Structure 1
Amino acid sequence: MNRIIVLVILIAMSAVCPVFGQNASADSSFREQAVRYAHTRYVYSTADQARLYNGAEYVGHLPSIKGYPYVDSLWRVGTVTYDGVTYENIRLLYDLVDDVVVVPHIDSVYRIQLQGIKISRFSIPNHTFVRIVRDTAHNVGLRTGFYDQLYDGRSKVLARRIKTINTELVQNAVKEEYLSVTYYYIGKNGLFYPVKSKRSVLNLFADQKKVLRKYLRENRIKFAKDREAAIVKLAQQYDEATRSL
Structure 2
Amino acid sequence: MFRTVTLIFAIVFLCFSHEVSFGQIQTEKDSQQLTIKNTVSLYYKSLGEQSGIYRGTGYIGYPYQVSNGHQFFESPDFSKGTIFYDGMLYQDIPMWYDLVKDQIVVQSLDSLSMISLHNERIDYFSLFGHDFKKISQDSSNSNSLTTGFYDHIYSGKTEVLVRRYKGTLEDVSPEGIFTKILKQKNEIYLKKEGKYYSVASSGSVVKALGNHQKEVLSQLKKNNVKFKKDPEKATVMMVMYYDQLSN
TM-score (norm 1): 0.76
| Number of the residue aligned with 1:90 | 93
1:86-235 matched pairs, under 5 angstroms: 86-107=89-110, 109-135=112-138, 140-170=143-173, 174-179=177-182, 180-235=184-239
Distance 2:104 2:131 in 1: 13
SS of residue matched to 1:65:
strand
Query: Which residue identity is paired with 1:240?
Result: Q
After TM superposition, the structure 1 = structure 2 runs for residues 25-64 of structure 1, keeping only pairs within 5 Å, are 42=43, 46=47, 50-61=51-62, 62-64=64-66
Cα drift, residue 139 of structure 1? 7.9
CA contact (8 A) 1:131 1:147 kept: yes
How far did residue 227 of structure 1 move? 0.7
- One-letter code aligned to 2:73: V
Residue 67 (structure 1) aligned to one of 63, 69, 76: 69
* Unaligned ranges ≥5, structure 2: 1-7, 19-38
Change (3 A) 1:136 1:192: farther
SS at match of 2:47: helix
Structure 1 residue 202 displacement after superposition: 1.2
**Given residue 90 of structure 2, which amino acid in structure 1 is its aligned partner?**
Y
CA separation of 1:128 and 1:212: change in aligned 2, threshold 3 A: same
Residues 46 and 170 from structure 1, CA distance in 2 versus in 1: closer, same or farther, beyond 3 angstroms? Answer: closer
Distance 1:49 1:226, change over 3 A: farther
RMSD, aligned α-carbons: 2.9
Q: Deviations over 1:31-76 (max 9, x none)?
A: xxxxxxx9xx959972896211011100223443311100022101
Compared CA separation, residues 43 and 103, structure 1 to 2 (3 A): closer
Shift of 1:137: 6.2
Structure 2 residue identity aligned to 1:67: G
Deviation of residue 107 (structure 1)? 3.6
Corresponding letter in the other structure for 1:202: V
The equivalent of 1:79 in structure 2 is 82
Deviations 1:197-221 (Å, cap 9, x if unpaired)? 1111011122110111211111111
Cα distance in 1 for partners of 2:146, 2:220 equals: 31
Q: Would you say the 8 A contact 2:49–2:109 is kept in 1? A: no
Q: When the two structures are aligned, how many residues end up with a matched partner? A: 210
Alpha-carbon distance in structure 2 between the residues aligned to 1:171 and 1:109 = 32
**Native 8 Å contact 1:138 1:191 kept in 2:** no
